[in-house]
Amino acid sequence: MGCTLAYKILREHLISGDLRPGEEITIRIDQTLTQDSTGTMVYLQLEAMDADMVKTELSVAYIDHNTLQTGFENADDHAFIKSVAARHGILFSKPGGGICHQLHLENYGIPGKTLLGSDSHTPTGGGLGMIAIGAGGLDVAVAMAQGTYSLTVPKVLGIELTGALRPWVSAKDVILHVLKEISVKGGVGKIVEYFGGGVGALSVTDRATIANMGAEHGATTSVFPSDENTEAYLGQQRRGGEYVPLSADPDAAYDEILRVDLSALEPLAAMPHSPDNVDAVKNIGRIKVDQVAIGSCTNSSYTDLMKAAAILKGRKVHPNVSLVISPGSACILSKIASNGALADLIDAGARIIENACGPCIGMGQSPRSGAVSLRTFNRNFKGRSGTNDADVYLVSPETAAVSAVTGVLTDGFAEGTALGISLPEIAAETFERKDNFVVYPPAEGGGEVVMGPNIKPFPRGNALPDAVEGEIVLVAGDNITTDDIMPSDSRLLPYRSNIPYLSNYCFEKIDAGFAARAKKADGGVIVGGDNYGQGSSREHAALVPLYLGIRMVLAKSFARIHRSNLINSGILPLVFEQHGDYDKMKAGGALVLADADAQIDRNIIIVNDKGTGAEYRFLNTLTDIEKRMIRAGGKINMIRQGD
C-alpha cells in the first residue's frame, strides 16, 4: 500500500519514534509562528529556558490579536515581543501587517515544510501542502529553542473531493459540510488529508479556508497536495521558486475515507453556538440580520474580498445591517485600494477596519443585544463576539455579502443573483512583495528585554505529590471551549501576560462563582464531559486553573491542544473509563488519587471519593514524556531539570 502525503512529510522530518498511529514521535520543525495574545507567554517561556538563537529555519512573531490598544497593556506586550524576537533571531511582524495565518500563507509557507504555531488555526498552511500544527505556547517556545516537537502519531482521514463547486458555493461551504458530517470532535487524533479530482478545482486560498477550519473538528492538522494551483499561488506571491510538487501515492492507505461531491454542495451556515450545527441557508430561512462581518484568518483573502466587492458594487448595505470588513493583510488592502474594489465596498456602506483578528475574538464590533450576526469566521461559541446573547452564524463571503444587502440570511444561488466576478482572472493577478511591516532581527541577536508593568511572571507547577486530592469545584458539560474556560474579549485580552488578573474571570461566562470557589478550595478538581477544552490553543486555559490551584481535570475526552497544555502545566488530565461515572461526580465532593507516583505508570488510574471511599477508574493516556512532565510539575520544570 502507498503512503499518504501527511506521512511522507512526517517521515521526512522524523527524528525519533515509529511512524505508526498511537506511537509518540519527535519531528523536526522548520518554521514557527506566534501571535501576540499567546506570544507574550511564549516569549516569557523562551526567556525562562535561557534559549539562544532559534533553531528553526524561520520563526515569525506576528501582532494581530491585541491591536485595539485601549490602554498601555497591548502596546507594552508588542514592545516586549519585539525585543525578545530581536534577541533570538525571530522576524517581527508589526500590528497592521495582517492576520498571522494569512500573512504566513502569503509570505513564508512552503510546501512540504513543517510549521508549529501558537494558534489553533496554524493548519491554514495545509492549504500549501505543509504539515502545519497548532500547539500551546510552551511547545512552540521549545520548538524555537530546540527545533523539535513531539506528538502522538495521528491516524489519517482521507477526504476525497470530486466535482467542482457551483457559483455561490465556496470553500467555506466545503468545510461546513465536513463539520456537519464529522462534528466538532470528529477530527481528534487524526490528520485530515484531501485528495481526488475535486482538489484541482480549489485554489490555494480555498484550500487554506478548509484547512484553517479543520481546527473546528479537532484534527491535528489538515493537508492538501501541492500542485499546479500551488505553483500558481506561489507565482502570484512572487515566490514561484519555492514550489515543490507533492501528493500522496495513488494507492495511499487512509485509515478512514469520507467522500464529498463538490458539485452537490449548496450554501451552508453554522447556526448558534457551534461550528458543527450546520444546515443549508435555504432551510434556515430568511432570518433578519443585524450585523455582517467579513474577515478573519478563514475568509479574508484577496479572492474573498473581491467576491464581496463584486456583490456589493453599485448596491447599498441594508439600513438595519452594520457591515464590517477586516482584510487579511496590508498587501490585500493595498491591492483592493489600488484596483477600486475598496471604493466599491465603502460606497456600498461597509465599515473597513484594521487588518487584524478584530471582531473574530471580540476585539471590537460586538453586536447589539440579541442580535443576529453573520460572520465569515470560524467559531461561533456563545459570547465570543463580546455579546453574550447574540446569535452568530458562520457563512461564506458570498452569503455574507448578499445578506448584507438584503438584510436577511440569503442563499444567492437560490435567488439566481449574478455573482459578477471571474475567479480565474483573480487567480492570475500578481502581488508586489512588500515587507513594510516586517522588522528583521540583527544577525547576531541579543539586546535588552523590554518589559512593561502589566507583564507578570507565569505560574509554575510543583512536582507530583504523593496524593493528588481536592474538592470538585466544577462539573461541566460536553464540548467546553477554551473560551468558556478563559474568556478572551476586548476586556480581557489585554491581560494575556497577567495570569493573576485573568484568574478572576476563569469560567466567568458559565459559572461566575468559579474563581472564588477554586481559590478557597486551594487544590480543586475540574470535571468535564466529552471534548473538554475544544477550540483555541491558549495555554491560559491551563495556566489560570494552575494558578487557582487545580491539579487534576477528569473528563470523558479531551481536545488535543488543551490536553497538552494541561500536561505542560503539570495538571493531570484523566479520562473516565466508564462514562456513567461522570454522572456520579458532584460539585463539592472530594476526591483523592493516592500513591500518585506509582499510579502514574499504570494503564488504569484509581481515584477515590474521600467521603464514601467509592472507586472510579480512569484511563491513563500519558506518553512517557508526558509522565515525566507530570512528575516534574510541568514541561519547563522538566527541561530545567535537564530531563
CB 251 within 8 A of CB 150: no
**Which CB atom, from 441 or from 535, has the smaller least distance to ligand MIC?**
535
Contacting residue, 538, 551, 560, 563, with ligand MIC by CB under 6 A: 538
Which string of x and - marks every residue 64-83 that binds ligand SF4 (by CB under 6 A)? -x------------------
C-alpha to C-alpha distances, 284 to 42, 120, 369, nearest whole angstrom: 42, 29, 21
Supply the minimum distance, in Å, between the C-beta of residue 35 and ligand MIC: 6
CB 101 within 8 A of CB 469: no
Residues whose CB falls within 8 Å of the CB of residue 459, separated by 6 or more in sequence, listed in order: 499, 543, 546, 547, 569
Binding region for ligand MIC (CB under 6 A) out of 51-59, 335-343, 510-518, 535-543: 535-543
Which string of x and - marks every residue 39-78 that binds ligand MIC (by CB under 6 A)? --------------------------x-------------
**Is residue 539 near ligand SF4 by the rule CB under 6 A?**
no
DSSP string, 460-477: ---PPPSSEEEEEEEE--
Contacting residue, 4, 67, 107, 120, with ligand MIC by CB under 6 A: 120
Supply the minimum distance, in Å, between the C-beta of residue 166 and ligand MIC: 30
Helix (H, G, I), strand (E, B) or coil at 326: coil
Helix (H, G, I), strand (E, B) or coil at 558: strand
Query: Cα–chain-centroid distance for residue 236?
Result: 26
**Which CB atom, from 195 or from 547, has the smaller least distance to ligand MIC?**
547
Cα 421 to Cα 426: distance, rounded to the nearest angstrom: 9
For ligand SF4, the binding residues in 410-449 under the rule CB under 6 A are none
Q: Which residues pair with 605 in a beta bridge?
A: 618
**Which CB atom, from 186 or from 358, has the smaller least distance to ligand MIC?**
358
Contacting residue, 4, 31, 34, 37, with ligand MIC by CB under 6 A: 37
Cell of 304: 474573498
Contacting residue, 40, 296, 329, 479, with ligand SF4 by CB under 6 A: 296
Cell of 137: 505556547
Cα 382 to Cα 146: distance, rounded to the nearest angstrom: 38
On the 0-12 / 13-18 / 19+ scale of CB atoms within 10 A, 59 is buried
Cα 278 to Cα 162: distance, rounded to the nearest angstrom: 21
Contacting residue, 93, 399, 536, 620, with ligand MIC by CB under 6 A: 536
Query: Cα–chain-centroid distance for residue 87?
Result: 27
Q: Which residues pair with 408 in a beta bridge?
A: 288
Q: In what order do the strands lie in the sheet with 291-294?
A: 278-280, 268-270, 391-394, 372-375, 291-294, 322-325, 351-352
**Is residue 537 near ligand SF4 by the rule CB under 6 A?**
no
Cell of 51: 534559549
For ligand SF4, the binding residues in 337-396 under the rule CB under 6 A are 357, 360-361, 377-378
Which residue blocks in 416-488 are alpha helix, DSSP H? Answer: 423-428, 482-485
Supply the minimum distance, in Å, between the C-beta of residue 635 and ligand MIC: 18
Q: Count residues near ligand SF4 (CB under 6 A).
A: 11
Supply the minimum distance, in Å, between the C-beta of residue 632 and ligand SF4: 31
**Is residue 119 near ligand MIC by the rule CB under 6 A?**
yes
Binding region for ligand MIC (CB under 6 A) out of 123-131, 392-400, 510-518, 533-541: 533-541
Q: How many CB atoms lie within 10 A of CB 157?
A: 26
Contacting residue, 82, 101, 121, 375, with ligand MIC by CB under 6 A: 121
**Which CB atom, from 119 or from 139, has the smaller least distance to ligand SF4?**
119
Which string of x and - marks every residue 83-102 that binds ligand SF4 (by CB under 6 A)? ----------------x---
Contacting residue, 161, 297, 401, 596, with ligand SF4 by CB under 6 A: 297
**Which CB atom, from 205 or from 637, has the smaller least distance to ligand SF4?**
205
Given ligand SF4, ligand MIC, none, residue 537, with its beta carbon under 5 to 8 Å by kind, binds ligand MIC
Binding region for ligand MIC (CB under 6 A) out of 148-156, 284-292, 513-521, 530-538: 530-538
Contacting residue, 303, 488, 497, 569, with ligand MIC by CB under 6 A: 488
Which residue blocks in 253-361 are alpha helix, DSSP H? Answer: 281-284, 302-312, 330-339, 341-348
The dihedrals phi and psi of 364, each to the nearest 5 degrees, come to 95, 170
Given ligand SF4, ligand MIC, none, residue 591, with its beta carbon under 5 to 8 Å by kind, binds none
**Is residue 119 near ligand SF4 by the rule CB under 6 A?**
yes
Peptide linkage before 273 cis (omega within 30 of 0):
yes
Supply the minimum distance, in Å, between the C-beta of residue 161 and ligand SF4: 24
Q: Which of 549, 613, 557 is nearest to 582 (CA)?
A: 557
**Is residue 361 near ligand MIC by the rule CB under 6 A?**
yes
Cα 511 to Cα 495: distance, rounded to the nearest angstrom: 20
Q: Count residues near ligand MIC (CB under 6 A).
A: 12
Supply the minimum distance, in Å, between the C-beta of residue 509 and ligand MIC: 14
Binding region for ligand MIC (CB under 6 A) out of 182-190, 322-330, 532-540, 598-606: 532-540
Supply the minimum distance, in Å, between the C-beta of residue 22 and ligand MIC: 25
On the 0-12 / 13-18 / 19+ scale of CB atoms within 10 A, 407 is middle
Supply the minimum distance, in Å, between the C-beta of residue 384 and ligand MIC: 8
**Which CB atom, from 229 or from 537, has the smaller least distance to ligand MIC?**
537
Q: In what order do the strands lie in the sheet with 221-223?
A: 221-223, 190-195, 155-162, 256-261
Q: What angle do CA 539, 185, 496 make, to 5 degrees?
A: 15
State the chain's maximal CA–CA distance in angstroms: 72
Binding site for ligand SF4 (CB under 6 A): 65, 99, 119, 121, 296-297, 357, 360-361, 377-378
Binding site for ligand MIC (CB under 6 A): 37-38, 65, 119-121, 361, 488, 535-538
